[in-house]
Amino acid sequence: MTTTMTEVEKDALINKLLIFMKNDIEEDGLSINSAWFDFDFEKTQKYYNHEDEIIPEGNALNGFKKQTNISDDDFRIIINICQTHGYVKNDYAGRNYKQVQLTDDGLARAVSVVKQQHYKPQEMGSTNVFHGPVSAEQLQIGNNNTQNIEIIRDNIIKEIEKSNASKDEKDSAMKTVMSFFGSSIITNALGLAQVGLGLKNAGI
């Protein structure tokens, strides 16, 4: 089955599906082993000498569609991926999704994604102090605050160079410094873009 979904879009929909199931289970106060979801597709049941019967899609599938506007074809891809990776299990064989359960792995991923969505980095106040050979009287983070990070960075590098450690140990320590201060994610989060640039300019 072909799809226009990218891997990023698939991953996002997998997260949404698992969170959808997690929230429903929590609202009812159930365990994952006592909750089943009807994600079955709408189908036509044919009878001999009788009118065909339209069997509507499962209530869980209908609810998830309202949240995501996902098509049947794309949902089939997503639910199959979840089964392959053990995020859900299906009590029915084949392509029937009438009794789908969330697994421990699926619940763990859903909880992890929700925590990540609500994560807020702690602000470092003006009273934070570095102790030891490398110290600063006052550390303030933010574009409009006094920043002693560059001093700390330079002192760390000097202490590494002056240490009695082996060359390999020094190289490893330098890589750690480079990884921390040179990370755009960390420097942007702390408002320290200039520190990252300083490392690059220093060739570290």
pLDDT at 136: 41
Verify that 22 and 73 share a domain, yes or no.
Answer: yes
Q: Tokens standing for 158?
A: 């000097």
Banded model confidence at residue 54, pLDDT cuts 50, 70, 90? confident
Examine the domain organization and report whether 184 and 143 are in the same domain.
Answer: yes
Confidence at residue 156, expressed as pLDDT on a 0 to 100 scale: 82
Do 110 and 126 lie in a common domain? Answer: no
For residue 91, give its domain range: 7-117
CA distance 98 to 35: 12
The amino acid at residue 63 is G
* Residue 79 belongs to domain with CATH number: 1.10.10
pLDDT in tens, 135-168: 444 444 444 433 456 666 677 877 888 777 888 8
What is the tens place of the pLDDT at every residue in 94-109?
Answer: 678 999 999 999 999 9
d(CA 153, CA 125): 19
Q: pLDDT digit string (tens) for 87-96?
A: 999 877 667 8
> Is residue 91 in some structural domain?
yes
Are residues 182 and 86 part of one domain? no
* Amino acid identity for residue 74 in this structure: D
Domain end marker among 76, 101, 117: 117
CA 179 vs. chain centroid, Å, equals 21
